[in-house]
Amino acid sequence: MPEAEVLYSDIKIKIKRARGNTDVATPSTDEPTYSEVKTSKAQRPAELPVSKQPAASNRRSGVTSERVALLVLSVLLAAAVIALGVTLHENTQTKKSLQKSQDEAKNLTEILSKREPSKVEQPCKPPSVRKETCPSCEDGWEPHGGKLYFFSSFTLSWNESRRQCKSMRGDLVVINSEKEQRFLESKVREKMDEPEEKFWIGLTDSKKEGEWLWVDDTQLDPSLKFWLEGEPDNWRGENPDGENCVRMGEKNKPKDLNIWVDKSCKSPQKSICEKPEKKSMSLNPVGSD
């Protein structure tokens, strides 16, 4: 390793002695004295220690940034977990509602299958007279004036009641005469247990307010109106859409044909179904030529 470069500096020291105004030179000591000073470039003043505060500050700043990022990620993760929980809860509630609806529909189907009349017609007894008519014989249906009537004990909306009648190849009753109204009034009175256990008939003004139509699209005959006093009133207290369907029946009042009352079509009521009475032509009696 090469020797460090040496710097030489001369130092001249002059000593004055003041005696009066005369400068007196010192003896040999007055000669300039040179002091040889060697200075190594390698020997430099020790550098001041670098402050560690900025590094510590930078480290602290880095840690703070990491904490903020971690906090943000934690918040986002918590929000995602909450959103997932809400979604799962809603899906669970939807599944429960759907299952409940399916169970109710299943129960209704089972009840209908047990309590509704059989749709299979029973064979009639062989007639004894040639070409004698034979009415159909279905359980639960009551014949009158060439029609069959079924008085349902299920409380359903007007539309549901109509679907029930159609499932039995009929429809809600259409009243075409005073005689028919009288027959229905007596039957309904017998079957009512409570004053409000009334029966839907096939009359509605759902298409146009005040224009009453039967389910066969015929208009209500003005001479065949059997409204209870004060009816129809289209009361909107139960349903904002008003009362657009008709039910009939009075239990505790004197016998009167005027027993029609308008009601919200969504209200559950019993119903009257009807269909034509089938006529079948018989063949020759057994054993005849």
What is the CB neighbour count within 10 angstroms for residue 244? Answer: 22
Distance from chain centroid for Cα 74: 32
Question: What is residue 55's predicted lDDT score, i.e. its pLDDT?
Answer: 56
Asked whether residue 77 is assigned to any structural domain, the reply reads no
- 255 falls within a domain: yes
Query: 86: exposed, middle or buried (C-beta count within 10 Å: 0-12, 13-18, 19+)?
Result: exposed
The closest of 211, 143, 200 to 174, measured between CA atoms, is 200
**pLDDT for res 258:** 95
Q: Is residue 59 domain-resident?
A: no
Q: What is the pLDDT of residue 39?
A: 45
pLDDT for the residue 272: 98
170 within some domain: yes
Q: What is the CATH number of the domain that holds 162?
A: 3.10.100.10
Tell me the pLDDT of the chain (289 aa) as tens digits: 444 444 444 444 444 444 444 444 444 444 444 444 444 444 454 555 545 455 555 666 666 888 888 889 889 999 988 988 888 888 787 777 777 767 766 766 665 555 544 444 344 443 333 333 334 557 899 999 999 999 999 999 999 999 999 999 999 999 999 999 999 999 999 999 888 899 999 999 999 999 999 999 999 999 999 999 999 999 999 899 999 999 999 988 888 999 999 999 999 999 999 999 987 544 444 444 4
Q: Does residue 202 sit within a domain?
A: yes
Q: Report d(CA 133, CA 165) in Å as an integer.
A: 25
> Containing domain of residue 249, as a range?
141-279
Q: What is the pTM of this model?
A: 0.53
* Structure-block tokens of residue 260: 């029609």
Asked whether residue 54 is assigned to any structural domain, the reply reads no
Return the pLDDT at 160: 97
Q: Total domain count for the chain?
A: 1
Whether residue 48 lies inside any domain: the answer is no
Tokens of 127: 């007639």
Q: Which pLDDT score, from 0 to 100, does residue 59 have?
A: 63
Which residue in this structure is represented by tokens 């480290």?
59
Distance CA 102, CA 111 (A): 14
117 within some domain = no
